[in-house]
Amino acid sequence: MTGQRDYEIFEAGDVTLQSGAVFPAMKLAYKTYGTLSAAKDNVILYPTSFSAQHFDTEWLIGPDGVLDPTRHFIVIPNLFGNGLSSSPSNSGDGPFPLVSYHDAIAVQHRLLTERFGITKLALVYGWSMGGMQTYHWAALHPDMVARAAVVCGSARCAPYNHVFLESVKAALSGDPAFRNGRFVEKPTAGYRAMGRVYAGWAMSHGFYRDELWREAGFTSLEDYLVRNWDTTFARRDANDLLAQAGIWQRGNISACAAFGGDLDRALAAITAHMLLMPGATDRYFDVRDNEDELPRLVNAKSAVLHPIPSQHGHRAGNPVNNPRDQAFLRAEVAALLAK
């Protein structure tokens, strides 16, 4: 994390994790967009998703985007394990401690309060692992979060979702470069295997049936798999990917001393205006998880379930080159911010 960069570092110092382990000199990378108002009441927190760094998700920010930096001060905190914040790839060769979403939110909270003096969030918005962080924020800091948009995310990692991640981890770690619990070099075959597994889970049956990959300029199914998935994860350190998959699998807003594993209690702690936007065809963050959570948000100021009507599966929540799904997200977030 040296040299030219377009982001800032929050030095959290030695952090005692939820596991009880101490993480020395923990670092949180972040980037801000827009201007913080004098009242500090225009803040949107936008946590990152699996393997993403802030520049992968900032396409959504713009005057005509889902999040408008001319009206809001937007903060993207990079999740631990993504290669910018503290991760296996930049924290030495020893075993990387078990980090949880609770640990991530604790350091993000320190960033907002200690560096900026922020005590209120107009909105927390997140997709996938970012959506799970959004749920954690709403439950752990209900006094701060006015609104929360959970996009293709859930309050805890469902068993089916856990199994999906087991297949991803097995595909990656099956590479011979994985030795004694750690990758000692780039797992070229493992990256490709992981991408092929991900391609089947991330997109829907209808996406492939209707050959929607053609809309993005791919000439054949194999062309789509090779150019879109075979190397998509090779840009990230493989040990980082495994660390983030672990955070994802352990995700559960109630798995802390405050809630004692009681999900009903954790969901009841939420007082924000809640917008749950699962992908209608998402295979691992299934709509049914949000359907189960919705009636348990008993103290939320409002709580609505608006599935994204898309054949793009999980990627409906990150529609970089998909104007239809972008328009849906933009309209839903605008309505949420108007509450």
**Token pair recorded at residue 339:** 């509450």
**Token pair recorded at residue 311:** 């054949």
- Cα–Cα dist 201/195, whole Å: 10
Alpha-carbon distance values, 321 to 118, 289, 318, 337 (Å): 33, 27, 9, 24
Q: Do you know the residue count of the chain?
A: 339
Query: CA angle at residue 6 from 38 to 86, to 5 degrees?
Result: 95
Mind telling me the catalytic residues? Answer: 128, 282, 314
- 3-state DSSP assignment of residue 307: coil
Which helix H or strand E contains 195, and what residues bound it? helix 188-202
Q: Which of 130, 154, 34 is nearest to 82 (CA)?
A: 130
**Token pair recorded at residue 44:** 């949107």
- Cα–Cα dist 145/44, whole Å: 10
Pairing of strands 22-33, 8-16: antiparallel
